[in-house]
Amino acid sequence: MRLRNNQKGIALVLTLFLIIVLMILGSVFVLRTINEKNGADYERRKKQAFYLGEGGGQAALSQLNTLINTNLLATVNATNPQTVSSRAANYVSSGDGLGFLVEFCKSSGVAQFTLSGSQAIYNSASTNLGSGSYQFTLKVTEKSNPVANSVDQWDFPYNFRVESTGTIPGTIGKVLLTGDFVVRVQRDNFAKYALFTNVHQMPNGTVVWFTNKTSFSGPVHTNERYSFALNPSGTFGGMVVQQLSTARFYNNGSPILVNADSNPGRDVPVFQSGFTRSAAGITLSSSIEQQDMIDQARANDASTGNGIFLANNSTNLTGGIYVNGNASVAMSTDSSNNPSYAITQGSTTKVVTVDRINNQTSVNTVGGGTVTYQGQPDGLDHLGHLIYVNGTITNFSGTVQRDTEITVASSNDIVIQNHVTYQNYNPGVGQPGDANYTPPSALDQTNLLGLVSWNGNVRVGTSAPNNINIHGIVMARNGIFTVDSYDNTSSGPRGTATMLGGAITNYYGAFGLFHTTTGQLISGYGRNFVYDGRTMVGRSPPYFPSLQTFVAFTNDITDKMAWQQDGF
Residue 293 maps to a domain: yes
Q: Where are the alpha helices (DSSP H) in 159-232?
A: none
Q: Which domain holds residue 121?
A: 43-190+555-565
- Neighbouring C-beta atoms of residue 355, cutoff 10 Å: 15
The Cβ of residue 480 has, within 10 Å, a number of other Cβ atoms equal to 23
| Cβ atoms of 444 and 468 closer than 8 Å | no
> What pLDDT does residue 85 have?
84
Give the helix ranges, DSSP H, for 81-150.
Answer: 81-94, 97-104
Quick one: 522 and 561 in the same domain? no
pLDDT for 60: 94
Residues 276 and 316: their CA atoms lie apart, in Å, by 50
Give the strand pairing for 469-476 and 448-453: parallel
Query: How confident is the model at residue 288, as a pLDDT?
Result: 63
387 and 527 both lie in a single domain: yes
**Do 371 and 512 reside in the same domain of the chain?**
yes
Query: Taking the CB of residue 357, how many other CB atoms lie within 10 A of it?
Result: 10
Q: Same structural domain for residues 460 and 531?
A: yes
Residues 465 and 561 in one domain: no
Q: Are 538 and 479 in contact (CB under 8 A)?
A: no
Residues 6 or more apart in contact with residue 565 via CB below 8 angstroms? 50, 173, 174, 175, 176
C-alpha to C-alpha distance for 209 and 527, rounded to whole angstroms = 12
Rounded to whole angstroms, the Cα distance separating 129 from 48 reads 10
pLDDT at 407: 96
In a domain, residue 280? The reply is no
Query: Which pLDDT value is given to residue 317?
Result: 95
The mean pLDDT values, 10 residues at a time, for the chain of 568 residues are: 56 76 74 63 75 90 93 85 84 95 94 95 92 94 92 90 90 91 86 89 89 82 94 89 96 95 94 92 73 89 81 93 96 96 96 96 94 95 94 98 97 98 93 80 94 96 96 94 93 92 92 81 89 83 79 73 66
- Same domain membership, residue 290 and residue 185: no
- Return the beta strands (E) in 50-170 as ranges: 106-107, 110-111, 114-116, 119-123, 127-129, 132-142, 147-150, 153-168
**227 found inside a domain:** no
Structure confidence at residue 6 (pLDDT): 55
Secondary structure E strands in 214-316: 215-216, 220-222, 227-228, 235-236, 240-242, 247-249, 256-258, 270-271, 275-276, 307-312
| Structural contact between residues 425 and 471, judged by C-beta atoms closer than 8 angstroms | yes
Q: Are residues 185 and 294 in the same domain?
A: no
Question: What does the longest C-alpha to C-alpha distance in the chain come to?
Answer: 147
Q: Number of structural domains, the chain?
A: 2
Phi, psi of 335 (to 5 degrees): -65, -20
Are 148 and 290 within one domain? no
Based on the fold, state whether residues 50 and 180 are members of the same structural domain: yes
Bridge partners of residue 87, in order along the sequence: none
Residues 457, 560, single domain; the answer is: no
Q: Are strands 119-123 and 132-142 parallel, antiparallel or unpaired?
A: antiparallel
Give the integer Cα–Cα distance in Å for 539 and 239: 19
Confidence at residue 63, expressed as pLDDT on a 0 to 100 scale: 95
Confidence at residue 1, expressed as pLDDT on a 0 to 100 scale: 42
